[in-house]
Structure 1
């Protein structure tokens, strides 16, 4: 059984507390895709309004999104990514690339993320401080010694 106190020192656990459910990440994805309004997000995601409201509220509280007046001057509100939210771009691209590689049959069609010149993105790589590509086998985690205080 996991020690819940140990997880408070884990960046992965803390990140998942903020954005670790399907709807939160799909909202972030849609904001990267240019959607901004509640109705647009609800239509795109097909999620129940109460769940969408809850996730949007949480993402605002966590500083991932901000609420701003709609650009068209209407009474509607728009949601925008904060700098903290924009920092999730690499994660969204990584999940997309993993999904492309592992969740579709060969030749099966799927959406594509292209750069502004309509070119596909290079596969993301993890690199060390010197720029050398590394794998999980080349890393280690230094755990926090909670007993040492």
Structure 2
């Protein structure tokens, strides 16, 4: 199957992430895994997904290191699919996607909400900078720029974007060294 990533985006973390988790069924399988579903039949019943599609998606999730395939029965052989540390690290992404979806619905139209397990109170997930605690949804306060491993093409992209941005406090965005 040909890649959906454009040649110039191969190093972009967003593009490569979407390559791993951007499929409709992948996100739903991961969501079910976060809810504790680990067995093939549980996932198939929960998602109403075909056997062949679920098999394909699970193989990909295992190959990508997001799920681990573990035997739980020997006769007949049966396996469960358990989140790896890498897979568990996607939970904030799934939570943020669900929160974004709920943000655009009236409260009475929400079929699933995130709540505090201890109090039952609805949570309002936001993505913040761990260093400052500031929300990251302000596109004027936070922008992408080329990182240390950026190729010439990626640096050119962000150099151009930087030239188009108004200076902040009289300075341009600092570009990481190519060293």
Tell whether the structures are fold-level matches, with TM greater than 0.5: yes
**Matching residue of 2:144:** 141
Q: CA deviation at 1:139?
A: 1.8
Q: Is the 8 A contact 2:25 2:57 kept in 1?
A: yes
Alignment RMSD, CA only?
2.5
8 Å CA contact retained: 2:69, 2:81: yes
Q: Secondary structure at the match of 1:136?
A: coil
Task: Establish whether residue 70 from structure 1 lines up as the match of residue 72 from structure 2.
Answer: yes
Partner residue, 1:8: 10
Aligned partners of 2:63 and 2:26: how far apart in 1?
13
**Larger gyration radius, structure 1 or structure 2:** 2
Structure 2: distance between partners of 1:145 and 1:32: 36
Q: Which consecutive unaligned segments of at least 5 residues does structure 1 have?
A: none
Q: Contact conserved, 2:96 with 2:127, CA < 8 A, in 1? A: no
Aligned residues: 146
Q: In structure 1, how many angstroms separate the alpha carbons of the residues matched to 2:99 and 2:110?
A: 14
Cα deviation code 1:59-88 (max 9, x no counterpart)? 0000000011228x9742111000000000
Unmatched tracts of structure 2, length 5 or more: 156-177
Distance apart, 1:109 and its partner CA: 4.3
Q: Find the aligned partners of 1:74 and 1:114 in 2 and give their Cα distance.
A: 39
Q: Tell me if structure 2 keeps the 8 A contact 1:65–1:81.
A: yes
Q: C-alpha offsets along residues 28-77 of structure 1, whole Å, 9 cap, x if unaligned?
A: 00000011111110111111111111000000000000011228x97421
Distance 1:130 1:60, change over 3 A: same
- The runs of at least 4 aligned residues of structure 1 exceeding 3 Å deviation read none
- TM-score normalised to the size of structure 2? 0.72
Comparing both chains, which one has the higher relative contact order based on Cα–Cα distances under 8 Å and sequence gaps of 6 or more?
1
Inter-partner Cα distance in structure 1 for 2:60 and 2:126: 29
